[in-house]
Structure 1
Amino acid sequence: MPSYPGGAAPVVDRSVYRNAQPQPLPPQSTVEVTPLQQPTPIVPEQQIARVPPPPAPAPAPVQPEPPPPAVQPAPPPAEPTPAPEPEGNKAVVALLDNAAEAVSTGNLDQAASALERALRIEPRNASIWHDLGQIRLHQRKFTQAESMAEKSNGLAGGNNALKARNWRLIAVARRAAGDTAGADAAEAQAVILER
């Protein structure tokens, strides 16, 4: 059995062929749809019999309402209890701490894993999506970084500061991927949001 450096066998992506020719589009349909001229009524109008509506039923006799039950005084209000913290909150905080620790030691894969787990608990947390986008950017996964920032923008609501940071992340990812015009457009969006 051959041995490979790093213990992993090389992977060759054969899903896209370099010399592949574009396939022709299927021929257009030859079916033509023409609108109807005037619909013909199923039953001619002169044959429809006009029937007067039935007479209204006689009103029901009025029954006297029973007297309302005696009203008990409301108990004094209890001391307000603090709302319980969401179950996932402590877990998310712990996962975010794990991610920060992993970043500080340079373990971006572990940081990404912790953030992905946090997103399984709080999938609508725009800040976690932004953080994961930052990790993907440092991993040189530019398309994923841009996608994470766009997802964060979709969830950020009125948080323009976060949206501006997302647009800056998108700009860096696009510039690194060679899309200068797209990067400039993303920078412009960030500037608009920072006003």
Structure 2
Amino acid sequence: MQHTKLLIALGALILVAGCATQPGGMSRPGGNNPPPQPSPSPTPSQTGQPGPTTPQSSGNGGGQTATTAPQQPKKAPPRSASEISSPAVMSLLGRADTLANAGHMDAAASTLERALDLDPRNPFIYQRLAAVRLAEGQNGQAEQMAMKSNSVSDNNPFVESGNWQLIAEARKQAGDKMGAQKASAQAVNFRQAASQYNQ
């Protein structure tokens, strides 16, 4: 029963983390190149039109205005492994998922370690390895892998929210109720941080 719960949790984590491959294949057309960015809009000086103005708060003349540059939206960090992984890594991740879902955790872990050999700074691989270790009942290793994923995630809230949830579960299973609560709070904080990119 416990093993089944862990497999369900592993599957849910993978879905929540958005680690599924894109429909129709392992890689998007054009390989690993990021999607083309729209060309920047011309600046007011290029169009000959005045830019946005804001009143100055200094006391030098009262009615003067200063031009301000428009805010550029933050670029969203990757939500899934498919956004940053090579086709070879995606193939190994898919194989590891299949093995884990069939209950072959040792083989899934070995497959993920092979993926790490190809891409040792990919936080999604460490996250999946943490989930496999958790499913095996290796709580300490699960927490270590999740922390390693955080360390290479470049503060990606999509990755770190899932990692902190894994850490919370590992601590809960190890009997560390207080540590589990702290990790759960971290997961909530990172989910809230990630939500800014959903707007």
TM category (shorter chain) comes to 0.5 to 0.7
- Distance apart, 1:83 and its partner CA: 7.6
The answer as to 2:123 corresponding to 1:144 is no
Instruction: Spell out, residue by residue over 1:14-52, the C-alpha distance to the aligned partner (whole angstroms, 9 max, x if none).
Output: xxxxxxxxxxxxxxxxxxxxxxxxxxxxxxxxxxxxxxx
Q: Which one has a larger percent helix, Structure 1 or Structure 2?
A: 2
Structure 1 residues 191 and 95, CA, compared in 2 at 3 Å: closer, same or farther? same
Aligned-partner residue type, residue 165 of structure 2: R
The answer as to 2:184 corresponding to 1:184 is no
Instruction: Spell out, residue by residue over 1:42-95, the C-alpha distance to the aligned partner (whole angstroms, 9 max, x if none).
Output: xxxxxxxxxxxxxxxxxxxxxxxxxxxxxxxxxxxxxxxx6888xx92321221
Structure possessing the higher relative contact order (Cα contacts under 8 Å, 6 or more residues apart):
2
Count, aligned residues:
112
Q: Percent identity?
A: 43
Q: 1:91 aligns with which of 83, 88, 92?
A: 88
Structure 1 residues 142 and 83, CA, compared in 2 at 3 Å: closer, same or farther? closer
Structure 1 residues 159 and 184, CA, compared in 2 at 3 Å: closer, same or farther? same
Would you say the 8 A contact 2:32–2:86 is kept in 1? Answer: no
Cα distance in 2 for residues equivalent to 1:168 and 1:192: 11
Provide the residue aligned with 1:115 in structure 2. 112
Superposition pairs for residues 1-195 of structure 1, below 5 Å?
89-195=86-192
Q: Which has the larger radius of gyration?
A: 1
Cα distance in 2 for residues equivalent to 1:152 and 1:102: 21
TM value normalised by structure 2: 0.53
TM value normalised by structure 1: 0.54
- Structure 2: 5+ residue stretches without partners: 1-29, 34-84, 193-199
Cα distance in 1 for residues equivalent to 2:136 and 2:119: 23
Provide the residue aligned with 1:63 in structure 2. none
Instruction: Spell out, residue by residue over 1:144-184, the C-alpha distance to the aligned partner (whole angstroms, 9 max, x if none).
Output: 00000000111111320210110010000001001111111
- Structure 1: 5+ residue stretches without partners: 1-81
